[in-house]
Amino acid sequence: MKFLSLEPFIPSGNNFEGSKQFFLELGFHVNWEVPGYIGFQRDECRFVLQHFDNTEFAQNFMLSVKVDDIDGFRNSVLNNKLPEKYGVRIGQIAKQPYGREVTVIDMAGVCWHFVEQ
């Protein structure tokens, strides 16, 4: 038996439509959508945005996303003014034992670790 994918359910926080727009601007596209759930994908990365608002859960939820150009990714987020538009936070690029990383805290409080190995 082979495992084929891992697609976490990500809480949207209290602004489901705003979160949807943020992820679209981050470069994801919608594979499918039903009330309360959206299946997003960019390249081989997939997740389900869930209309779920629980601050404690969201602020303790983290993901790691591998990218091939961390500088380009961070510059894209800043050039598109996503922190100003959506109230998300983006950190500085930091060298970690597992690669170069920048964190993005989304609208719900989820911490996304974008990593270039």
Domain range annotation of the chain: 9-116
Owner of token pair 């091939």: 68
pLDDT digit string, tens, across residues 37-90 = 999 999 999 999 999 999 999 999 999 999 999 999 999 999 999 999 999 999
CATH number at 9-116:
3.10.180.10
Kindly indicate the confidence band of residue 113, based on its pLDDT and cuts at 50, 70 and 90: very high
- The pLDDT of residue 35 is 98
Between the two ends of the chain, the Cα-to-Cα distance in Å is 28
What pTM did the predictor assign?
A: 0.94
